[in-house]
A and B are shown apart, each in its own frame.
Chain A
Amino acid sequence: MKHRTFFWFFLPTGLAMLLFIALPIVSVLFQSVHTPHDAVLVTVENCGPFGCKEETTIDQEATRALRDAEPLGKFVGLQIYFDRGHLAVSEVAEAWRSTDSISGFLSEINDLPFYRAMAFTLTYTFTVTPLLIVLGLMIALAVNSLNRHLKGLVIFFSLLPMIVTPLIGSLILFWMIDSRGVLGSALQYLADDPTLSLKASTGLTWIMLIVYGVWNSAPFAFVVFYAGLQTLPQDQLESAQIDGATRWQRIRYVVIPHLMPLVTFVALIQLMDNFRVFEPIIGFNAEAHATSFSWIIFNDMGGETRLLSSAATTSVLTILGVAVLLTPVLIRTWQDFKGKT
């Protein structure tokens, strides 16, 4: 494509990206270094059905004057980034000084909301992503070797988990794994332990969320790999067969290298998706056991007293996290691209 043609072709997309992606990120960055003004508090008398009481309230006149003077709020620099809700610099330093073993230090750190969310988010991302790629590949290979009359039906059923919205899917499973639900009761019977409850233990909740994540995303990997399998070089496969390669050797040395660019693609998309895990935590009511960065943002924005600066800061940190996470995959993609040209 000529550069000029490309420019006009890309312009609308570029403008939309600037407007809907770049500008909001700038706005979030801006909000994360500002906080609301100091509240001017006054003591007043409140009366209601249960009598009168002296209580504190916000002096709206005085607060409005402050707001009008500085409409953006109070500039605080990186204060929110370093407070206890986020990087918790002073708490981490204190934990480092006061503990004498690594495990003691880690358990202190795990008490801080940001690091606790990070522990779950990273565990989730780095177990779900490889598992769903392997599972997706296995399903794709299995479906590809089926009789063609069966294929349509099996493909349809394999895709079902992806068709269900994550929130609805997790809610349905939430009730099924309840200690009085179908799956929960079955597990209690199998484990011969009537007190077994998946929702009451942190370890089991994590496993449940990870299994759910793999179940929900494997169809995506499956579809991509299945499409890739339709373009397999038949002559290579045949010559490998003539040379006496087993089925496993053909997969290992012909099929997987052929699918490698697709594996990179799936890994890229799924790393990003899994890093912002959110719906299963809400659906499974799992916030007592597992939280994620997205959940923290939701919690800050949804509360009665909204912590918008805090939510903005967590958003910026999430964007940075995604960038770090994707760097190796992006470097690999770039090298592949350069290698081809």
Chain B
Amino acid sequence: MKFTHIALASSVLAFAATAGSACEISARVNIVGNEFPAIHSVADAAKECTGGEVKANLTADHQKINVAGMTGNPAEYTSAIIANSSIVALMNEDVIRPLDDLVAKHGDGLQKTQLITIDGKIMAVAFMANAQHLVYRADVLEEIGVEPPKSYEDLLAAAKMIREKGIMENPVGGAYKAGWNLAQEFNNMYLGHGGSFFEPGSAKVSINNEQGVAALEMMKSLSEYMNPDFLTHDSNATNTEFRAGNVALMNMWGSRAATLADADGVVQEVKDHMAISGPLTVAGGSDAASTLWWDGWTVAKNIPDAEAEATFIALTHGIRPEMLNEETAPQAVWLIDGYEPTDAAQGVFEAVQMSTSPYPMLPYMGLLHTALGAELSDFMQGKESAAQALADTEAAYTAAAKEKGFLN
């Protein structure tokens, strides 16, 4: 089964390489990026190029190495695959180059919406959209006679019924691992409550308010229906819980939805009854408690022009319409011409339709994200009040922003 799959995939690739647009490059290409199926597909397609070596380092630790790997001259990596959050770190350090001339020369196949322009200069090319949304077990909801929840309040009510009926002890899943994941869940919930992170036009944080407290209280209520180890569960561990049949409702990334049920050892009921729908709202609001993301690629600044051109050609080849096939199409919500949404894309599409807020591209948002990740876990463990946790976060952020020169 596995083998025929691989054989089929490689024959498709071989066919694409011979029949599709040929890709000739004349210099080295070295890509660094996150590690999930859609990005693997892009990197694999880029590797079809001949004439120069194409290497890719795809790892969950990409954010820890991409800035350092692009700072040298010449840079180790000629391209970083990033999202709207992580492009900021590269912009702050000024290690990526504007792509206007390369787009003019080689960018015929790209659509206008794929071009990320910052201050009028094209700085990245997006190839997929992503958002967190509801993933649930249709059979479990049917058993308790409840429609798929539209809001976090509905979700809590459903979770209560599932526990009371003795179907599952901890029916809610969530990537609440202390650090980046926990902070991201807060961001979603806070935006869902209509909050804003900073005072308008300034780096001064303002999250210690009614919306912030309400967001944390909701997260606390959800955690009561989660595996008690939730502070150690990232999205991989949460998926594992879902695959094992221990979870019925969870907020999960669209980029993981398509492959969620295909790992080894997934319980049959999960395979048969997994379903997805749009992101949830909270507290009667109409804004989704989620953030919209795009993933795209950049080209390093500190490399010879020949390498920049080779990188641009290889990655444009990596996201050309012909790379979409039966295997790659469900992996993401592609922003590529000719992409037909599959069932797995429904959640992200609904997120776009609900005009979910994009994750803010601010130079100091990363500092706030880090501070949230470190300071919220005390509240989640019941060691301090929500207002205290938010005050701690503000203090931690302010110290960091002063050090980085964003605040005086």
Residues of A within 8 A of B (CB): 35-39, 41-50, 53, 55-58, 60, 63-64, 74, 80, 83-85, 91, 111, 113, 178-180, 195, 197, 199-200, 202, 284-289, 299, 302-307, 309-310
Q: Do A48 and B84 touch (CB < 8 A)?
A: yes
- In the complex, chain B residues 374-389 whose Cβ is within 8 Å of any chain A Cβ: 374, 377-378, 380-381, 383-384, 388
* Residue in B closest to A116 when the chains form the complex, CB atoms: B378
Residues of chain A contacted by B369 (CB below 8 angstroms): 304
Q: Do B91 and A57 touch (CB < 8 A)?
A: yes
Given the complex of chains A and B, what is the CA–CA distance between A47 and B380 in angstroms?
36
* Residue in B closest to A64 when the chains form the complex, CB atoms: B94
Residues of chain B contacted by A305 (CB below 8 angstroms): 89, 92, 364, 366-367, 370, 400, 404
Residues of chain A contacted by B114 (CB below 8 angstroms): 49
Residues of chain B contacted by A38 (CB below 8 angstroms): 405, 408
Residues of B within 8 A of A (CB): 63-64, 67, 84-86, 88-89, 91-92, 94, 113-120, 126, 129, 177-179, 201, 203, 227-232, 244, 292, 294, 335, 352, 358, 360-364, 366-367, 369-370, 374, 377-378, 380-381, 383-384, 388, 392, 395-396, 398-400, 402-406, 408
Q: Do A47 and B119 touch (CB < 8 A)?
A: no
Q: Do B396 and A85 touch (CB < 8 A)?
A: yes
* Residue in A closest to B67 when the chains form the complex, CB atoms: A306
Given the complex of chains A and B, what is the CA–CA distance between A111 and B385 in angstroms?
12
Given the complex of chains A and B, what is the CA–CA distance between A137 and B363 in angstroms?
55
Q: Do B370 and A200 touch (CB < 8 A)?
A: no
Residues of chain A contacted by B388 (CB below 8 angstroms): 111
Residues of chain B contacted by A299 (CB below 8 angstroms): 370, 374
Interchain CB contact (< 8 A) of A43 among B89, B201, B203, B392: B201
* Residue in A closest to B227 when the chains form the complex, CB atoms: A179
Q: Do B178 and A58 touch (CB < 8 A)?
A: no
Residues of chain A contacted by B179 (CB below 8 angstroms): 287
Given contacts A113-B374, A304-B63, contact A56 B117 (CB under 8 A): no
Given contacts A43-B201, A197-B229, contact A57 B403 (CB under 8 A): no
Given the complex of chains A and B, what is the CA–CA distance between A84 and B375 in angstroms?
13
Q: In the assembled complex, how far is the CB of residue B30 from the closest CB belonging to chain A, in whole angstroms? A: 21
Given contacts A58-B92, A305-B89, contact A310 B403 (CB under 8 A): yes
Q: Do A39 and B361 touch (CB < 8 A)?
A: no
Q: Do A199 and B129 touch (CB < 8 A)?
A: no
Given the complex of chains A and B, what is the CA–CA distance between A59 and B363 in angstroms?
11
Given the complex of chains A and B, what is the CA–CA distance between A36 and B404 in angstroms?
6
Q: Do B228 and A200 touch (CB < 8 A)?
A: yes
The 5 closest A-B pairs by CB, nearest first: A44-B119, A288-B178, A288-B377, A304-B366, A305-B366
Q: Do B408 and A56 touch (CB < 8 A)?
A: no
Interchain CB contact (< 8 A) of B229 among A64, A178, A309: A178
Given the complex of chains A and B, what is the CA–CA distance between A199 and B405 in angstroms?
37
Interchain CB contact (< 8 A) of B361 among A35, A55, A200, A306: A55
Given contacts A47-B116, A113-B374, contact A35 B404 (CB under 8 A): yes
Given contacts A85-B399, A197-B229, A199-B229, contact A57 B119 (CB under 8 A): yes
Residues of chain A contacted by B228 (CB below 8 angstroms): 179, 195, 197, 199-200
Given the complex of chains A and B, what is the CA–CA distance between A74 and B405 in angstroms?
9
Q: Do A57 and B94 touch (CB < 8 A)?
A: no
Q: In the assembled complex, how far is the CB of residue B83 from the closest CB belonging to chain A, in whole angstroms? A: 11
Given contacts A58-B91, A200-B231, contact A41 B403 (CB under 8 A): no
Residues of chain B contacted by A63 (CB below 8 angstroms): 94
Residues of chain A contacted by B403 (CB below 8 angstroms): 35-36, 80, 83, 85, 307, 309-310
Given the complex of chains A and B, what is the CA–CA distance between A41 and B361 in angstroms?
13
Please name 21 pairs of A and B residues whose Cβ atoms are closer than 8 Å in the assembled complex, sorted by A: A38-B405, A39-B406, A44-B118, A44-B119, A46-B118, A48-B116, A57-B118, A57-B363, A58-B92, A58-B94, A58-B363, A85-B400, A85-B403, A179-B229, A199-B228, A199-B231, A199-B232, A304-B88, A304-B366, A304-B369, A306-B67
Inter-chain pairs besides A49-B114, A304-B63, 11 sampled, C-beta below 8 Å: A35-B403, A42-B119, A46-B116, A46-B119, A48-B84, A83-B403, A111-B384, A200-B228, A284-B232, A288-B231, A307-B400
